[in-house]
Structure 1
Amino acid sequence: MMWQSLMDLGYGFGLAFEPHNLFWCFVGVLVGNLIGVLPGTGALTAISMLLPLTFSMQPVPAILMLAGIFYGSQYGGAIGAILLNLPSHPPHAVTCLDGYPMTRKGKGGTALGLTMLCSFFAASFGIIVMVFASPLLVAVAFKFGPPELFSIMLLGLIAGSTMSRGSPVKGIAMTVIGLLIGTVGTDVQTGLQRFNFGIPELADGIELVSIAMGVFGIADFLRHVNRMKHIGSLAPVRFRDMRPSKAELKEAFFPMLRGTLVGTLFGAMPGTGPTITTFIAYALEQKVSRTPEKFGTGMIAGVAAPEAASHSKTQVDFIPTMSLGIPGDAVMALLLGALLIHGIQPGPRLLTEHPDIFWGLIASFWVGNVMLMVLNVPMIGVWVKLLQVPYRFLFPSAVFFIAIGAYSVNNDIFAVYEVLAFGIFGAIFMALDFPIAPILLGYVLGPMVEENFRRALLLSRGHLTTFIERPISGTIIGIIVLLLAAQAFFAMRARAGKGTALPVPPSDVIA
């Protein structure tokens, strides 16, 4: 099996190095890097805006570009956190704790250099895990019938809603809203229209692009519309400042290794976002450190561990998304939707039915990460300059391109109204501290859960026991019950005042 995996990886590299695939991979990592540096506009917004562009593209370059935006934004996000104490995205908030103090000590370049090395190492480890772990899932792929597919997708829904930031009840409520949105349109099995309220434009359902652009793009802009000033300024960082010494590399090695393992573990678990992963990696370093009191003053371990965790999780997140059809977070759910738009069904059979997508994507990860290493060295000064773009220019431009992207889906102005409606909807719930990501999770997985549930009941002549009689399905249902019981236990424990003292991820981007 190992030799076959290496052969398949060679096939993937052949696809990744085709000129048009290489070009779109470069476009993805470049845009992702830029988006990662700019505060407020994350990978979700960028992928939502560029998703309509992929409709006329072949599936392989389209997915390579969208994936490049995802992991490219992870590189860019650390730049603002280290240089300006500005976490462009929540996962990098913990990097500020020691990254910015290193900058104030004149070690900002060293912190950036270590971040790039740790990121490349962690990403490479995550890719290796994908190469050798994913084929193991294919070995049991054909044992998955409708009951098993229903159970595993239900696990993804429950995990994604209960493990999201904040109250599990709020997460479940948002997932249910996503499920309800997914029922709008035409019933696949009966051909009857449902829940479209007599609006002809809703006969085919609500567009994924409209939901994503609305709840992640417009909603975020509405929340920060009063921010008029630019971010700030900083002295340029030179290349020689980014070369860490041998002592610094030695100090960063074990934190980088531990952070990589933490990210790999959480990447394989659906529903765990990168923010909690980086905070757990940071907390672990404090526990094992001989000088925990120095954390927050410019410790190399406080930068290496969370950044390694973030990047290894980013790569391993693709395992449950591509191999099982379970997105690990909101960005993965959006990429899952992109595959569906191109007529590709994610799941255990993806590796056998569309090997070009899977192995081309894995090979492009290595190619893209090398591109990011090369890009970030000469472009640091450019990224810092872009942090000075005034929001009065940034916001209107982004809203304009969102409107163009929504309209271009079906050349229909109704899609723009959908984006606006979901933007207002998302802004209201974000202000009420409801997690927004489970909406997309419910919308993407909901129709597949319903379809496999109904199909399983048809095959079993309406007996619900089919979901627990089959070994794989019954085991997954048991895991779901344990997950819900654990959430209830921790909720009661927290209410009793016995919660743990782990650092709490920020509820919003610090600016």
Structure 2
Amino acid sequence: MTDTIAAIFHALPYVLEWQNLLGMLIGVFSGMVVGALPGLTATMAIAVLIPLTFAMQPLVALGMMAGIYNGAMYGGSIPAILLNIPGTPPSIVTTFDGNPLAQQGRAAFAMKVACWSSAVGGAVSAISLMLFAPPLVKVTLLFGPAEYFWVGVFGLSAIAVLLGKDPIKGLVAGLLGLMFGAVGSDVVTGADRFVFDQRELLDGINILIILTGLYAVPPALRMVEKKIVDISQKIKIESGPEDSFWKNVGQLIPTWIRSSLIGIWVGILPATGGSMAAFIAYNETKRVSDDPDSFGKGNPKGVAAAECGNNADNAAAMIPALVLGVPGSGVAAVILAGLLVHGLQPGPQLFRNTPDIAYGFMWQMLFTSIVLFAFGGTVSIKLFAYVMRLPQTVLAPMILSLTFVGIYALSNNMFNCWLMLGFGVIGYVLNRVHFPLAPIVLGLVLGDMVEKNLRLTLLINQGDPTSLVASPLSWLLVTLSLLVLGYPLYGYFRDRRAH
């Protein structure tokens, strides 16, 4: 342990060189811009950046990647709060309470809470990465394919049942997400599923197409409807004295602690990601709240839980990536590619042969989180919040134009744009009939993980279904899933007894 602490602090002077500091600042600002543009992601930004870093020192390049990573995760909250459009997949959860706060004239406060929470979650996650990477990695070794399958089932059950007022609608929405995720060629048999003779669907539907369609198009359509009655939105963006950090930190600390721990736990599980961390953190905060009915109507703790859990996943996702070479998220996988480009092999040898770079990257994850306190809380509000003062006659076509440009840039294919528009119509109709959209997205996120691990478990055990519940950990996850699914029945009989 002493040697590890010495190695951590030995890397600090290298991180504090001006080139590395500049790279981190550029990365944070770039990440905020990328996250704030619907359709663009941290994964895409880092993938574009990697070829440009060939001539850079490894720590400079990694500092920019760390900045983009943390900046984009916070940046996604900006359109989520102001326009009810998640800039990144995990910021879906931020829309639940962030946009209602904006509608109440507290957009600046919501963005500050998102900024503070992102910084806290990212900083706590970076510290855990620094100090506890080797022991935390051992936790992932307890999970085999069967356990990952039940983790996915538990996540789908929890979100479908606990989000929205009607559990049945939540379950139907989750099944829709699973169905959309099944589109394409089966990776095992090669059979086509739901492609309808369209070759563009053989590789499946990119989650960004569905995400942008469900969350970006319906608000624009509603703006057009609202235009008949109201020409422009008057959203207050000024901050009052009651919106200061010190006046609100006390009530947010428990939420930050809980959400940080959840984000770290989810982050070290490969293939889960920030979306699941944000959903679970939000649900837990709502569950333990004295006023759960206020969530979804503008509760700052909902924004804090979503952003803190989301960002706490960031550095934690790098624990299995750096130590085992198994990325905990899509962004972590791209950062691993960046390490390989610079001749750095993830795994134990990374810490043995180049400890200054390994631990320097951990410092950069911490510093870029801290930068968000000042950089994100002031610049983002001044640059982005005034968009709410645009007339809706201008804002609606701007949103649609940005979504079409972002989706077209994915593959230079107009088919994806029309597909996005189709999902936009679906999202608009589902909103009209009060179906929650979040379970659809989680079905997309977890569906592939559930299917692959189910088939892998059965393949390894020659089709024996009892192999799915062969370990105590599997039984624990099964029990949790059943408790969640049984919760609506408990509420139903409780209400009947009360009457």
Report the TM-score when normalising by structure 1: 0.67
Please tell me the residue identity of whatever aligns with 1:402.
T
Shift in CA distance, 225/147, structure 1 to aligned 2, threshold 3 Å: same
Equivalent-residue separation in structure 1 for 2:80 and 2:212 (angstroms): 20
C-alpha displacement of 1:370: 2.2
Other-structure match for 1:201: 200
Equivalent-residue separation in structure 2 for 1:461 and 1:479 (angstroms): 27
Shift in CA distance, 96/351, structure 1 to aligned 2, threshold 3 Å: farther
| Bigger shift: residues 363-372 or 467-476 | 363-372
Shift in CA distance, 158/53, structure 1 to aligned 2, threshold 3 Å: same
Equivalent-residue separation in structure 1 for 2:102 and 2:448 (angstroms): 40
C-alpha displacement of 1:360: 4.8
**Residue pairs, 1:417-496, within 5 angstroms:** 417-494=418-495
1:24 aligned residue (17, 24, 27): 27
Residue 223 of structure 1: SS of its match in structure 2? helix
Please tell me the residue identity of whatever aligns with 2:485.
L
Shift in CA distance, 310/317, structure 1 to aligned 2, threshold 3 Å: same
TM-superposition CA deviations, 1:347-395 (whole Å, max 9, x none): xxx9979999999588436424424424544775555644322222222
Is 2:245 the partner of 1:257?
no
Residue 160 of structure 1: SS of its match in structure 2? helix
Equivalent-residue separation in structure 1 for 2:9 and 2:158 (angstroms): 31
C-alpha displacement of 1:456: 1.0
Equivalent-residue separation in structure 2 for 1:233 and 1:48 (angstroms): 26
Other-structure match for 1:506: none
Other-structure match for 2:97: 91
Other-structure match for 2:50: 58
Residue 143 of structure 1: SS of its match in structure 2? coil
Equivalent-residue separation in structure 1 for 2:5 and 2:156 (angstroms): 30
Is 2:225 the partner of 1:226?
yes
Other-structure match for 2:89: none
Unaligned runs of 5+ in 1: 36-44, 81-87, 286-301, 326-334, 345-349, 499-511
TM-superposition CA deviations, 1:212-258 (whole Å, max 9, x none): 111111122223323443333769769xx7997xxx94x65643433
Other-structure match for 1:316: 312
| Aligned residues between the structures | 439
Is 2:172 the partner of 1:173?
yes
Please tell me the residue identity of whatever aligns with 2:219.
D
Equivalent-residue separation in structure 1 for 2:145 and 2:116 (angstroms): 44
Other-structure match for 2:392: 391
Equivalent-residue separation in structure 2 for 1:112 and 1:180 (angstroms): 34
| Bigger shift: residues 487-496 or 164-173 | 487-496
Please tell me the residue identity of whatever aligns with 2:411.
N
Tell me, yes or no, if the aligned pair for 1:52 and 1:406 is still in contact at 8 Å: no
Tell me, yes or no, if the aligned pair for 2:31 and 2:71 is still in contact at 8 Å: yes
C-alpha displacement of 1:425: 0.7
Equivalent-residue separation in structure 2 for 1:226 and 1:357 (angstroms): 53
Other-structure match for 1:330: none
Shift in CA distance, 494/404, structure 1 to aligned 2, threshold 3 Å: farther
Tell me, yes or no, if the aligned pair for 1:252 and 1:304 is still in contact at 8 Å: no
Residue 175 of structure 1: SS of its match in structure 2? helix
Shift in CA distance, 158/360, structure 1 to aligned 2, threshold 3 Å: farther
Residue 232 of structure 1: SS of its match in structure 2? coil
TM-superposition CA deviations, 1:410-443 (whole Å, max 9, x none): 2211111110111101111111111111112112
Other-structure match for 2:144: 145
Please tell me the residue identity of whatever aligns with 2:405.
I
Other-structure match for 2:190: 191
Other-structure match for 2:156: 157
C-alpha displacement of 1:2: 9.0
Equivalent-residue separation in structure 2 for 1:303 and 1:441 (angstroms): 22
Please tell me the residue identity of whatever aligns with 1:70.
M
Equivalent-residue separation in structure 2 for 1:9 and 1:75 (angstroms): 35
Equivalent-residue separation in structure 2 for 1:480 and 1:6 (angstroms): 43
| Bigger shift: residues 456-465 or 186-195 | 186-195
Is 2:216 the partner of 1:217?
yes
Equivalent-residue separation in structure 1 for 2:358 and 2:182 (angstroms): 29
Other-structure match for 1:413: 414
Shift in CA distance, 398/224, structure 1 to aligned 2, threshold 3 Å: same
Shift in CA distance, 113/493, structure 1 to aligned 2, threshold 3 Å: same
Equivalent-residue separation in structure 2 for 1:157 and 1:482 (angstroms): 13
Equivalent-residue separation in structure 1 for 2:153 and 2:282 (angstroms): 23
C-alpha displacement of 1:72: 4.0
Equivalent-residue separation in structure 1 for 2:50 and 2:170 (angstroms): 35
Please tell me the residue identity of whatever aligns with 2:38.
A
Equivalent-residue separation in structure 1 for 2:284 and 2:207 (angstroms): 27
Please tell me the residue identity of whatever aligns with 2:28.
C
Other-structure match for 1:367: 368
User: How high is the sequence identity, in percent, across the aligned residues?
Assistant: 23
Residue 436 of structure 2: SS of its match in structure 1? coil
Tell me, yes or no, if the aligned pair for 1:274 and 1:313 is still in contact at 8 Å: yes
Equivalent-residue separation in structure 2 for 1:55 and 1:115 (angstroms): 26
Equivalent-residue separation in structure 1 for 2:467 and 2:128 (angstroms): 33
Shift in CA distance, 232/424, structure 1 to aligned 2, threshold 3 Å: same
Other-structure match for 1:41: none
Shift in CA distance, 352/99, structure 1 to aligned 2, threshold 3 Å: farther
TM-superposition CA deviations, 1:130-161 (whole Å, max 9, x none): 76677544113233322222222222222222
Residue 58 of structure 1: SS of its match in structure 2? helix
Shift in CA distance, 415/353, structure 1 to aligned 2, threshold 3 Å: farther
TM-superposition CA deviations, 1:170-222 (whole Å, max 9, x none): 12111111111122111111223232122222111112221111111112222
Shift in CA distance, 161/23, structure 1 to aligned 2, threshold 3 Å: same
| Backbone CA RMSD of aligned residues | 5.0
Equivalent-residue separation in structure 2 for 1:135 and 1:156 (angstroms): 26
Please tell me the residue identity of whatever aligns with 2:168.
V
Shift in CA distance, 375/55, structure 1 to aligned 2, threshold 3 Å: closer
C-alpha displacement of 1:463: 0.9
Equivalent-residue separation in structure 2 for 1:424 and 1:358 (angstroms): 47
Equivalent-residue separation in structure 1 for 2:463 and 2:237 (angstroms): 69
